[in-house]
Structure formats: structure tokens, C-alpha cells
Amino acid sequence: MIANVIVDVASQNTNRPFDYEIPEKFEGIVQPGVRVIVPFGPRKILGYVISLSETSSFSSVKKITDVLDVIPTLTQELLHLGKWLSNYTLSYYISCLQVMLPQVMKAKYRKELWKLSDEPLDSALDAVFDGRGVMDFEEFEQSGISYHILRKHMNEGEVDVHYEVKSRETKKLKAVVAPAVSPIDMEEKLEDLPPQAKKQRAIVEYFLQQPEPLDKKRLLDHLQTTPAALKPLVEQNVLKEYKQEVFRDPYGGREFKRTTPFTLTDEQETAIRPILSTIEKQEHDVFLLHGVTGSGKTEVYMQSIQQVLDKGEEAIMLVPEIALTPQMVERFKGRFGSKVAVLHSALSAGEKYDEWRKIQRQEVQVVVGARSAIFAPFTNLGLIIIDEEHETSYKQEDRTRYHARDVAVQRAKTHHCPVVLGSATPSLETYARAAKGNYQLLTLSKRMNEAVMPEVELVDMREELHSGNRSMFSIPLKEKIEERLARKEQVVLFLNRRGYSTFVMCRDCGHVSECPHCDIALTYHKRQNRLKCHYCSHEEPMPEKCPECESKTIRYFGTGTQKVEEALQELIPEARIIRMDVDTTRRKGAHERLLTQFGEGKADILLGTQMIAKGLDFGNVTLVGVLAADAMLNLPDFRASEKTFQLLTQVSGRAGRHEKSGEVVVQTYTPEHYSIELASTYDYEQFFQEEMKLRKAFRYPPYYYLTLFTISHPNQLKAEEATRKITMFMQQKLSGQAHVLGPTPSALARINNRYRYQCMVKYKKEPEQRKFVERILHYYEDEMKQENGLQITVDFQPYQLM
């Protein structure tokens, strides 16, 4: 039998299966999806068996060296999905297979030098061996001994270079103690024990009562003793001690309050019915659950999942990374108990691996996780849910540039099951599809418990400035914060850190310099003191005064959380503030700890970035402040308005979720901007209409699809030249309907001393496009291999345009 193997070498020439003979001892074990170690050239590497065949067209096949799995790591479905993913993202098959698995399952390679004879070698070499038989090859390289000497010894058969493939997987073990002899022998032993050996007696007595193996630590704790008492018993073979694998449980030792399904409101009932019937009929369909914040989307998800579980099938629920708050986990663990696995980036590599294996062993039926959880190795998927569907974290922005939504639909098609996309502020793409009838639209327009959306007050910061307030806190916001402090209520203050010092605005009239061709804020380039558009090649000098009102207060913008915290403390000295940003939450568990503190009322104000915009549910929060609503609005991104609207809506949803009603203060320099104005009245529909007009006029999604080439090279001219060629090639090959823009310097014009240029394709339908892109990549293959050569990345449907 022959195994067709995808090897762990990401390159153009190896992006196809290699044939290996299956040695007799591995017959029946080697099957599609199993990881194997195979000889490849002079070394040994990891590979994935994708299929078996009777014969090979290749004349001299080598044998599989070793097999790493008993159960296949990848299911047949995931192998196919990987193939699809590699076509869809134009990346190597091996990269796609790796992206579906936990990090620890990637191989670790070691190159070693082995000494084979006892004879003395070259004295310098012997000195490095220092009496050992094996050393890391790196040690040899660092010793500076010439390869000549090595070669000579190798020819003599005295040393050899050895390649090791190691799995990074580590299994956590715990010590277990169990009786090694029969109860009768134990009783005998008990009598033999000297009377002063009280602790030993206690241990033996314990096992006489209950002979089951027991965790060593628990045994010692239970009997209030130490390993010293256990040791003689093990040595005399009365008891035995051995290691047993335990699954790391990130939520171990925690009690989750069981919850039962709520009675659905009429609206929820109407929304869930089509989902349930699709699950029942085993059909594929995509639903958009459009529900205002606090409308009980989660309950609809959970009851849909329940239906899937009742049928004996499994469900995946994706949530954005930052929304995977303990509160969310609690709700799922509370409802589904041990049927749930949780996968997100805050888990350690080992924890992720163990959660993943729970899925693989079919020990759980529900996965709640971030983007990559979409690859959960379930075999009977009955439902996929993507919560906060509009979140950009569902798009992977490196190597295998996939969108979890697309993968979800792909998997759901194979499993004949529905996909539910949920959001209070759906992405325009999704809402447009729902409006066209491609997706089924389900709406929840009312908050639960008859709560109303909090009142939003827009504060015009230009007026604040005119009245002499130069601080970042408006008078109304300051007053309202003080009011809450007096009432012992809590405040959430939100600051966008994105958009730091990049856009230019007039502090007097709010005028923002925009590109005349793109309706996008210009980016300020400090070095040349010029404004540039990041989509087309437009640029202009940084204005001395506002072109609109001639004021001289025009300048670039940006503020960090730390500065805000200091200013706030100065403004309201008695306030107890918790700051949450990348700096304060870097440490493991810090995120959760800070939130718990806030929840327990140990602080009055929670100040933070994006990460506090989602999922928080604290009843005592009655005021939410947005410090700079414009910050995001002026990013060089055609989705800037959409993101602003989404963010303001999400943040507003944090206030007044329970009995106490909430209030929101939004500070802005452009209160008249449609995305800010419409967010303040929670008018999604109107916002959608407005934004769609612009998208249409400027040929952006959902009217057009985008393909973004980013080309970089240490030499600016080279980068630009290659981009120009690519642009021209695409222009030539694509139909007249496509718009090919470029070459344009990237918004991040230089990273790591590489100059970056872009080419953007806007198109409606170009079925041949991938072929042309492949030709480009093939054409530049050689130049891309060089270390300091060209680098070309292609992103189909990019989210990150920088």
C-alpha cells in the first residue's frame, strides 16, 4: 500500500502529495488524516496522509518512518476543506492543514551530531563533544570547526548527522496511587505495620475501604499526610504509583450555575422557528439574526444548539476574540455543562490542545471559540453560529487569509446544516445579502425585560473648545460622571486608540482633509509633512490653516489611554479608575481579574479600548462615555463609517441593561456625520441606506469585491515597478468591468525597511481572476525566494487595507 502525503515544506514545488510505502507494521494504522514522519531528501519531516493508493507512478518510493496518530488528526471532511481553503486563499495545502490545528501539533525539528565510534576524533571536535555521544548540531556550527573535518569523520563512519522530528504536544500527567496487592494481602500488611506508623496504617486502611485508584495529591490531602508516608508502601509493593494523563481544564474547579432555557418572547419565538425547522430538515441555509443589543440573541442561539444536541449532533459557536469574556463562557457552561469546549487565545498552548482533543474524542458536542474554532473536528455538525458577525477579527490577516464566515458556509454545506449570523449591526455585505434574499433575515427589535436603549447625547467638542475647555473631557461628561459617583453607580469610558496621530482635523470647525477621489481621510505623513491618500496616488501638502474656515488650529489627532487616565484622575481626584488596555491585560487572567474587580464595585470607572466594547453586562453601569467618536471615522479605510456606527452602537449597549436606566455621552467633533448621528438614534436601517449609496458611488463592497495585492521590497523603485507591472497585467487580463488601481504606496509605507506598494482590484465577476493571480505569483517566484527579494501578498476580500 502507498500513502499519499502532504509534507511539511511550504513551497511551490512541494505543494502536492508525495508517495510513501506503508511498512507492514503500520498497515491499518496509516489512513487519511494521520500524521506521519517521512524521509524527505536527507532529513526527516512531518507529513499528513491525505489518501491511500494501491500503487505509485513514482519508481522508487521510500518508507514511512513513523506514525504519530492512532486516531486520524484530520477527518476526511477537513482534508477536503483544506484543499478548498488552499484554492480559495491561494496558499499552500500544507499551510491550510496547519492552520486548522492547534499550534502544538506542528512538528519541532532538531538536527543533531552523533558520535558513532569510541575512537578519538579530531581533538577540537572531541572537545565539543565533551564526552557526550550526541550534541546539538548548532553547537558544532558555533564551534567554528571546519566542515572538512566533519566530512572526513563522516566518511570514516565515525560521526553522523541525525534528524529528529519531535511533536510539541505535551500531555499533562498526574500521579495516581492504587493497591498493588489483594485486599487480603493488604490486611496482612496492616498487621505487620509497627503501631507507630500511624500514617501508613491510615493509607492502607483507606484503600481497604475503597480499592479504586486515587489521585496522589488528593489522597495525601485527604489523609493529611506527606509523600514520606506513602513511599515505603510503594517500595514494598503494597501500593503502586503511576502517571496518568489528565486533560488540562482551563475552567477546572469552577462551578457554573446551571441555567434552564427561558421562555422565549414572541419575537424570539418567531425568529427561532425557521432555524429549528432547518435543523430538523437537515438543510443548508444562512440566517441573519439582526437583533438590537440586549434583545436576547444568545438565548436564541442556546435553544437552537439545544435542538441540535437533542438530535445527537454538534454545534460550533464563534464569538470575536474580545467578546469571549468570562461572562459569555459562564452562560454556555451554565447551560450545557461539560458538553462545552472553549477555544480562544487566552488559553495556554497545552490547554488549547486538550480542549481540541475533547472535541476530537467526541467528549463534547459544543464549541465556543474564536475564529479558528471554525475548524473544530466535529463529524456531525448540526449548526454553526457566528455571533457579532460584523467583527473584523473573523478575518485572518496573515498567511492563509480566510474569513471564518466563508469557511462556515463551506462546512455547513457539506454537513447540510444552517449557519446563523448574529449581530446588532450587521456588516453591509451580510445585510445586503439578506436584503436580496440570499440570506434569511430574522429580526429582534426589542430589548428583553422591556429595557429601552439608553438615551445618547452627542457633545460637540468644537463648542467645548470655543467655550474654553481644552481638556479631553467635555463639561457635560464631567458632570454626569460626578453624578454617578455621588449615586454610587458605575461608568464605562471608552477610547479608541486606533487612528493615533494620523488624520488631520481642524479643531475649530471639525473639517477633516479628505481625498478628492476616494472619500477617505488623508493620512498625515510626518516626515514629508504631507497628506496622502492610501487608495489612489493623491497627495497634498499639510495645510497651514484650515481650508474650510481658515483657522490655524488644524492639526493631527490621537491620544492614548494612559494619558486619559492621568487627565481623568486629575479632573476627578476621588474617582477609582480601572484601566483596561493591551498593557494592563497582557498577563494571563488579568482581563478577567480587572472585570471581576469592576463587577464587585471596587472601582467607579472602567476606562478602556476596544476590548471593553463587547459583552460586558454590569447592572450598575448607568453611564457610558465615548471620548473620541471620530478617531475611527477618519482612518484610511472605506469601512470607517461602518466601524464607527458599529462601535458606537455596541458601546451604547453596555449601559442600562437591567433595572437602572442608562445614558450615553458621545464626544465628537463631527456630530453631524451620518454614522454618528444615526448611531445616536439606533437607526441601523437608515445608516445602511446612506452607507450603501457611498459604497455604490465609490465602487466598494458589497457592490464590488476587492482583491488587494501588497508588494514590498527593500528598494522602493523595485517595489513600485513590480506593482506597476502587476497592475498593468491585471488591467489587461480582467474584463472591462473590473477597476484596477495602483501602484499606490501603502498606508504603512515602510515596514522593516521594506517599501510597500499596493494594487487594488474592484470587480463584480471575474471567474478567471485566481488563474491570473497564480500566474503573477509564478512569474515572480524566483524573485520572491531571495531573502531580500520581492514579497507579494494577495488578499481576496481584505479587511485590513494597510
Partner DNA sequence: TTGGTGATGCAC
Partner DNA sequence: TGCATCACCAAA
**Binding-site ranges for DNA (CB under 7 A):** 9-14, 18-20, 38-43, 56, 58, 60-62, 109, 111, 146-148, 161, 163, 782, 785
Taking the complex as a whole, the smallest distance from the CB of residue 10 to DNA amounts, in Å, to 5
533 is in an annotated binding site: yes
- What grid cell was written down for 448? 428583553
536 is in an annotated binding site: yes
DSSP 552: S
Q: Is 417 within any annotated ligand binding site? A: no
Query: Which residues are CB-contacts of 578 (< 8 A; sequence separation ≥ 6)?
Result: 594, 597, 598, 602, 603, 605, 606, 607
| Cβ at position 108, least distance to DNA in Å | 11
Q: Tell whether residue 96 is among the known ligand binding residues.
A: no
User: Min. distance of Cβ 137 from DNA in angstroms?
Assistant: 8
Q: How far apart are CA 288 and CA 249, in angstroms?
A: 33
**Whole-number Å distance between alpha carbons of 548 and 510:** 9
User: Judged by CB, which is closer to DNA: 15, or 244?
Assistant: 15
Nearer to DNA, 113 or 606 (CB): 113
Radius of gyration of the chain (CA): 31
Q: Which is nearer to DNA, 147 or 262 (CB)?
A: 147
Strand partners, 49: 5
Nearer to DNA among residue 5 and residue 105 (C-beta): 5
The nearest distance, CB 784 to DNA, in angstroms, is 9
- What are phi and psi for residue 98, nearest 5 degrees? -65, -35
Residue 451 is placed in which grid cell?
Answer: 429595557
Q: DSSP state, 394? A: G
Shortest CB 161 distance to DNA, Å: 6
Separation CA 763–CA 740 (nearest Å): 8
Residues 6+ apart with CB under 8 A from 646: 390, 425
Strand positions, DSSP E, 501-631: 504-506, 523-525, 530-532, 539-541, 554-556, 577-580, 605-608, 621-626
Q: Which is nearer to DNA, 43 or 525 (CB)?
A: 43
Whether the CA torsion 458, 463, 464, 465 is positive or negative: it is positive
What distances in angstroms separate CA 178 from CA 56, 173, 187, 203, 245, one per listed residue?
51, 16, 15, 11, 15
User: What are the CA-CA distances from residue 298 to residues 60, 216, 332, 507, 649 (Å)?
Assistant: 57, 41, 9, 42, 18
Nearer to DNA, 9 or 104 (CB): 9
Q: Angle formed by the axes of helices 428-436 and 684-697, to 10°?
A: 100
Q: How far is the CB of 92 from DNA (least distance, A)?
A: 9
Distance, in Å, from the CA atom of 363 to the CA atom of 761, rounded to the nearest integer, reads: 46
Give the C-alpha separation, 631 to 329, whole Å. Answer: 31
Q: To the nearest whole angstrom, how small is the minimum distance from the Cβ of residue 113 to DNA?
A: 11
Scored b (16 or more CB within 10 A) or e, 430-462 reads bbbbbeeeebbbbebebbbeebebbebbbbbbb
Nearest residue to 509 via CA among 671, 641, 632, 667? 671
Q: Is 759 annotated as a binding residue?
A: no
**Closer Cβ to DNA, 7 or 613, answer by number:** 7
Nearer to DNA, 43 or 658 (CB): 43
Indicate the residue among 479 and 782 with the shorter CB distance to DNA: 782
Q: How far is the CB of 43 from DNA (least distance, A)?
A: 5
Q: Please, what is the minimum distance in Å from the beta carbon of residue 40 to DNA?
A: 5
What residue numbers does the annotated binding site cover?
Answer: 506, 509, 515, 518, 533, 536, 546, 549
What residue numbers does the annotated binding site for Zn(2+) cover?
Answer: 506, 509, 515, 518, 533, 536, 546, 549
